[in-house]
Structure formats: structure tokens, C-alpha cells
Chain A
């Protein structure tokens, strides 16, 4: 999944990072009171005693929801001096038009540590030579280990300007005019071939079921617009990628319901937990429209087994909902497990395919987040038709598409690249996890992605989100390491941290470990 962009710290946002930021609120859904014990036990005499207060409570909730003070009554931003003039006009009693409530909420919401840490990094980035005391970025899941291979390919294959390439004459007319917004057919064909290679030949992808967009971020948003109305929900195993909170909730009005996974299960998905979450949502009157899983998962790096995929497909079929499989790290599987795409299972067995949708992109496996290439692969014709129309809001630049057609069609290069990439990831992962082990920090078993999921719970003062954020803050501001705390990923067990290692070089690892040691030592002393 494309990580959120690094942002230049505004003066405002800087002040927020100095104190541990609050976790963003999880929404304003109604709380349901399960009828009291008396009712459940069928003792009618207690009906009045339990139902009436419940009814009153519901009514209160309704009233409050309806009459919540409108955010549009408050002006957005600082009050400009010219406002005084408008107050003198004959119709001066109405309040000034502010931004939408969406915009106001975004402007006011405190940033999660995920974004705050990234901000800090961008203003004080570590560099071995020029800024050795800078902040080391372990919070952005980027892979720079194999970028040199891509650059070399470009140098040796595109000798002329962007107008000339392997496929012969290109004029700017071919680049600059309007094209299908959901992607050039040549690129879709090339992407289908690339995905086939990434998944090691296990699935053949049909180019006409592909919609391209400028990054996996708009892909997931477009798909959400297609699958759910405002107020509907998706179930999502937690911990999950913090960016989903923005990608899915920001403009679509769809809720994300976390389904907690536990360290005792290796953070693997439990269908029983899904079932519970579904039932609870139903009780609250919330319609669940889909289950969203990441495979390999982020932040843990787990792979979904074939059995779990079968169970998932059974579950969504039974509930008549969709399954969204975010497989953006499919090619970054460096461990011993075997990656199995939901496409492989769906094509082999007799499942209803129209409820299955896959998200992919080039930001992770090909290390090109800047180019903005995201893929939606769906078996549902209506979703494809709607997503095609939505594609014009987030279309990929045509010159970039042309460049990538050449690159992705070079299957020999891609095979070599994927192999080398896995190798380098494997090596770096081993070094990093080993380094942490020597500090007494164990990592969850993981196979994929650019990160490890580290258990630092023994170093937090209180076994709570507060304790975790205190440790996070120390790591960021004292040790100058930016990691992502589990609470930002909605993990219910405090003390877990995601550490990304694919932007480091080998010689950076001892530096990182030393810095972490300085904090863990001081925490040991305090215990």
C-alpha cells in the first residue's frame, strides 16, 4: 500500500509532535445497550425496568445525533479582518460560509503518530555523512534496495528522450492527448503479465478486468465508493495499515471495523473473530459490505494460507458481502511461506467471483511510488463499469504509462529484478531481526513486506496505549528513530512497533541498534 507522503512540517504540526499525540477517535457511531439480563432471562417484570431506560437512551442518542451543533456554524481557519465588513451588510446575521464539515474535521484532527513521525523525519532526515544525528526513518514502507536495477534498465533501454522508446516512433501527440482514463490497453496487458510473474505463474490475469489509477490510494477509495454507501462498514483484521483510515474513511463515509488478531495466534486472521464482529455490527444497525484483508499483511507481514482463503470466501458468500484483497506486497515475499493470491483460489474452485476484488500497484514491488500506478482487478462487471468512470479523477500520466509498458514487457528483466529483490529483502530482514534479538526484542514471524513487527512491550512503563506512546516518543525524540506504534495500526496489544528496514543500508543497522539500545537500557533501569 502506498505510504502517505512525507510532508514538510508546518509550524502548527511541529508543536503537536512534541507531546504524545492522541489516537484519532474511531467515529461517532451510536452505542448499543444490550438489553439487561432480566429481559434475556424472560422475566417480564423486568421488561419495563430495562426496556424503558434503553428506549430513553436510544431516543437521547437520536436527538443528540440530529441536533449535533453543525460544524459549518464555525468559520474555518482564522477569522480574517474582512469579516467585519460582511457583518455590516443588511444580511449580516448569517454566519460566513465555511469549508465542508469533512474539511473542518480534517483540519482540526490531530495527526496520528504515523504521520507525525514521518513529518519529523522529513525535516531532520538522517544521513551517514552530512547529518549523522538526524532522525532515522523506519516508519515509511519504502524499498530502496533494488532501485538501482530499475535505473540501470532505463539508462540502457531508453537512449532517446521520452518520445522514443523500444516500440518505435512516439510523438507528443501520442503522449499528450486524451486517452482512456482507466489506462492504456498496452499498459494493462503489460501489468497483467507483470502480475503473472510476480505471483510466480500461479494466476493468469485478464487485462480487461484491470482498472489503472494513480496509486493504490485512489484504487482503494474508488473501490470503496463502489461497494458501500455512507454509513456502511468494512471489516478489517487489525493491526492494519494506518493509511486505510484516510483512504477509506475520509471521503466515502464508510466505517472501518477492526477485527483484532492476537499475538498468541501469530496475529493471524480468525474467522470466529470476523463472525463476532459482523454480528456486533449488525446489532448496532450497521451494514457490513466487505471484508478487507492485506496479503502479505501490513504491519505484521503474514501470509494467508489456502485454508484461510477458502474460509474467507465461504464467509463472504454466506453473508453476501465482498472480499477485498490488498496484495500490494505480493512480490515482496522474502520468507519461507508461499504467497497465494485469492485469484488463484477463486479460479480453481467454484466460488462466486463477482464478490472478489484485488488491489495491487507498482509502489512496493517495483519501488516506484512516485510514478503513481495502482491496479484494481475485479471479477464484477458492474464494479468495473463504475470504476472505469471514476478513473478520470485519478488517471495515470500517459508518459509514465508509456515508460512502464516498455519496462514491464521486458520479462527477463522483471524475472531477474524480482529474484534479486527478494534476496536483498531476505538478507536485510535477517540482519535487522537479528540485531533486535540481541537487544532482547523479539519479532513476530513474518514473510512479506519491508518491515518487521517488533514486541517492545517489556520496555513500556505501563501496559497501555499511553505507555506505548511514551516509548514511541522517546524513540523519536531522544533516540531519533521513527517507528510506527501499534496503536496507530489499531493493534489491541500495547507495545508492538512496526520497523521498516528496506530504506537502510547494511552499515546503518548497527547505528539503529545502538540508538534503540540506549532507550531500552534506560527503560530497564527504570523498571
Chain B
């Protein structure tokens, strides 16, 4: 057969890591309260299913928005043949309105700067293609979303250089850490083109404060590199301070910064829980990037049928306000229930007020603070507790023992079931610990890991793969 490209035959897609292996475990044995009550519960997918019935109601009440109805079909022809990559004007206007709303009305969003793409995945790739050449690099604070390796790097040839952040100061991005990594790259002859941050953070669920954003803007201006801010979780802030966008900080004092360096990525997949619609947005203050990005958006245009529907939904101000308030409320409740359930068994989570997940601290359950031990524990959680959670190492977290757990992609009952399993697991571990201590006390010898624990860690359900599995046939 003909020779294939390096891209097709390499592992650059980054899908052979524990993050995705957990999903595969879920795919092979998915939980269902009736048909498969012992299956794996999916807690590794950051999806927001909490407000779907509100949107369903809206769609039913607004038949003209959907061209698939008698009332709406008159628009059909115009919509079906429209393929201008500027997008339907009503759509970009509505998206701009929505983005302003999410940012508390404190940011002015110009619809003419909106470039659409195939989901945030496509938006990140578009940014990489526009801002960097193969071999050049972007700095990225850890921990970060594993998909960036694929979205930002796979087909673009751009590198991501992790900048370590630590839990002791709540993973704050420090100037010193950025400088160190930048200099290291310079010494290795790698050209750093920009900094990629996610705010609110995935997997931490925390937000950057105004001061930090200002410092970052100052730093990138000094270095004359780009700042790409992934604000995909902006609309999932459910308590505490309001979300501050980098656009807000920039617009407060535009004279101090070079606008050609500031870019925002967002989408409707998280805020509104509409990943199936595949709407990704690139918003850049750089005219050349907007022009170039628009031409590239031909590779991932949003279906005009969807644009038409969303134009109507997003500009229904009353509905959107109600939706966002309700969304925040439900996320807050869910977060509260989940974290207090965990606290009840002594599991602490990083304090957070955004995102669809929490960052769980299981360091005390590790024998040693190593990635191997974290992976062992992770395999036990998948196999024995039957929860798909995502280990910190897959997010390039430098401290082993942290896990990301998603809680917004399920109903209440499933969440209670998950908590129940965690409680049972923790009490088993505590039991084992007690027995171990007792034995040690009795025998005065240091024993190795209890047999039961070893048994659990070597148990594998059908179909699970190791974190280092070879190229997998996708579903």
C-alpha cells in the first residue's frame, strides 16, 4: 500500500495516555442504573448536562428558529446555500452578545472580529497555525488539559513547553517560572512565540485574578510574544467572584499593551453544554490574524442550520439571562454536594468556583509520591471503584496524587452512586491501613503493601489498557 505521512502514523495525536484510556474503560463498560449498575461511571468527561431541559423547552417554543419546521422552512433556501465564512450576520452578532453577557457586560465584543471554527478544538488549532511555525513553541502553565497536545501541536508542528505551577501557592503562574522556562527555551534554540493559558483553569476550576492577568499581559508585552487565553469555561463560574476576562483587563488600559498580541478562544460546549453543535470561536485583536483565521475557518465552518438556531437562541436576552443564572445555581449545588460528600470521607478538593469538575487530593493514599504510584491508584479506582477519573500526570501535574473528577455530566442519582462507591473504597483503604499498623506494632517489622491492595491494583476489567497502550483503533 502507499506510504503514509508522519502525522498519520505517529502518536502525535496524544491519545495514548491515561486520560483517554479511562474513557476507553468507560466505553467498554458504561454505567447504567438499570442495565449495568456495576459499570464504570464516567467522571472524566467535562460535559455540562444540567440545564438541557431548559433549552429543550426554548426550542419547542420557538419553531421559526429551527428551519426544520413548517414555520421556519421559508428560511430554508437562504440558510442551505449560505456558506460565507464570515458566518450569518445574525449569528456573529448573537455570539458577540453572549460573550459580553458572560463577561458581565464589562467587555465590548466586536462581531467583526469573531472567527468561527469546528469547536474549541478547531479554534486552538487555528490559533497555532496562525501564530507559530513548525518547531516554534508556546509556554503553558501546568496542570493543563491533555487535549492541547493534539489540538495545538499535532498537525501544526508547534511545541508546548510546560511551566510548572505548584499546589502550595494554589498553582499561581509566577513571573519567575515563566522567565525560567523562557530562558531555557532560548538556550535550547527554541523560539517561543506565545503563552497559552486557560482561564478558568482546566483541571483546577480556579480563576485568575485581575492582578495576575495584568502581570501576564505586561510580561508577554515585554517579551513581545502572543497571549492566547482559552476562556471556554467562562460561563461555568458558579460562586464567589465574577469572571474576569483577559479582554476586560486589556480593554481597561489598551494603550499599555500591544493589541496584536491578545487572542481569546471560547465555545458553546461548556458554558451552555452544547458540544454537539460544534461551535468554536476565535476572537483576536490582531487584524491579520482575523483575516487569516477566517480563511482557515473554511476547514471547520459551523452548519448554517445551527448558526440560524443559535442566532435566535442567543439573542433571546430574557431566556439567556435566566439560563445562565440557573446554570450557575445548579453547578453550585452540584459542586457543594459532591465536595462535601468527599470531605465526609476525608478527601479534600482544591477550592474552586468554576468549571465542571473538581481537583481531588489523594496524595495521602499514595505509598510514595511518584507517578507510578499515582497510576497504580488510578488503575484501582477504575477497576475496583469503577469510576473514570483522570490522573494528574495526564495533565502534566508535577505533584503526583491529584485527580480531576467531573460531576456535571450526570444526574443526581448517579452522583450519589459515585459518592457511595468512593466512601466504600476509602473505608476499605482505611481498614487495610489500620490492619497494617496493627501488624507492624505487633511484629515490629516493616511490612510491604498489604496483599489485598496489591490484588486490587493488578485486577483489570475486560478491555482496559495500560497508560502506555499502543496506537488504538478508535471507536
Question: Which positions in A face B, CB cutoff 8 Å?
Answer: 2-8, 10, 72, 75-78, 80-83, 85-86, 89, 91, 94-97, 99-104, 106-107, 122, 142, 144, 147-148, 150-151, 154-155, 158-163, 165, 171-173, 175-180, 182, 214-215, 217-218, 221, 225-230, 232, 246-247, 250-252, 289-290, 316, 320-322, 352, 354-355, 363, 367-372, 380, 382-383, 385-386, 388-390, 392-400, 403
Contact = CB atoms under 8 A, between A and B. Distances in A.
Contacts of A394: 118, 122, 299-300
A100 B133 contact: yes
Nearest to A290: B2
Contact of B133 (A80, A102, A159): A102
Interface residues of B, number: 99
B73 interface: yes
Interface stretch (B270-278, B436-444, B458-466): B270-278
Residue of A162, A171, A182 with most chain B CB atoms under a 10 A cut-off: A162
Contacts of B223: 91, 97
Given A77-B288, A354-B2, A82 B256 contact: yes
B371 interface: no
Contacts of A171: 52, 56
Contacts of B301: 5, 214-215, 372
By Cβ-Cβ distance, the 3 closest A-B pairs, closest first, are A398-B276, A370-B304, A354-B1
A158 B59 CA distance: 14
A221 B274 CA distance: 26
Contacts of A400: 303, 305-306
Nearest to A321: B2
Contacts of A81: 255
B369 interface: no
Contacts, number: 319
Contact of B80 (A101, A246, A367): A367
Given A97-B225, A163-B56, A398-B277, A367 B81 contact: yes
Nearest to A287: B3
Given A97-B226, A99-B286, A2 B292 contact: no
B258 A225 contact: no
A114 to B, nearest CB: 13
B278 A395 contact: yes
Interface of B: 1-9, 13, 15, 45, 47, 49, 52-53, 55-56, 59-60, 62-63, 66-70, 73, 76-77, 79-86, 118-119, 121-122, 125, 129-134, 136, 150-151, 155-156, 193-194, 221-226, 254-261, 273-279, 286-289, 291-292, 295-296, 298-306, 309, 471, 473-475
B297 to A, nearest CB: 9
B84 A6 contact: yes
Nearest to A174: B276
Contacts of A390: 155
Contacts of B258: 80, 82-83, 86, 96
A150 B122 CA distance: 30
Most buried by A among B3, B84, B193: B3
A165 B134 CA distance: 46
A453 B102 CA distance: 52
A215 B298 contact: yes
B256 A399 contact: no
Contacts of B276: 175-179, 397-399
A316 B133 CA distance: 32
A399 B150 CA distance: 26
Contacts of A182: 474
Contacts of A72: 133
B69 A161 contact: yes
Contacts of A399: 66, 276-277, 303, 305-306, 309
